[in-house]
Amino acid sequence: MLSGKGAIIMEKLKDNQIMPIDVDLEKGEKYYWCTCGKSGTEPFCDGSHCGTEFSPLEFTVEKDRRAFLCTCKKTKKPPFCDGSHEGDISYIMSEIV
């Protein structure tokens, strides 16, 4: 059984909190990306951050598009996934093997 960081990452994988979420975004619509990781509506904010230091990231898109939004919160290009979660997946695999 995994413990420590491996257990946390496995739990997040199970809850789909590490893998990006594929969404359709509409031009002109305001979106609020969750930055705390507690939202029940990931990747979007549901207010679960209230009482913490976190606040959602407001964003729009210039044209209708499909995008992968980050849920690991490690992206350097928020709210879009940049593959930063791949290190966590590699860590999990090294722990399991």
pLDDT digits (tens, 9 = 90+) for 56-68: 999 999 999 999 9
pLDDT of residue 77: 94
pLDDT at 18 > cutoff 80: no
pLDDT of residue 97: 41
Tokens of 48: 């679960």
Q: What Rg, from alpha-carbon coordinates, does the chain have? A: 14
pLDDT of residue 85: 77
* Beta strands 57-59 and 31-33, pairing class: antiparallel
What are the φ/ψ torsions at residue 46 (nearest 5 degrees)? -125, 10
Residue 30 pLDDT grade (very low, low, confident, very high; cuts 50, 70, 90)? very high
Q: Are 79 and 57 within 8 A, CB to CB?
A: yes
- More reliable by pLDDT, 17 or 35: 35
Q: Are 94 and 85 within 8 A, CB to CB?
A: no
Q: Are 34 and 44 within 8 A, CB to CB?
A: yes
Q: How many domains does the chain have?
A: 1
Residue 39 pLDDT grade (very low, low, confident, very high; cuts 50, 70, 90)? very high
* Residue 41, domain extent: 5-96
How many Å apart are CA 94 and CA 97, to the nearest integer?
5
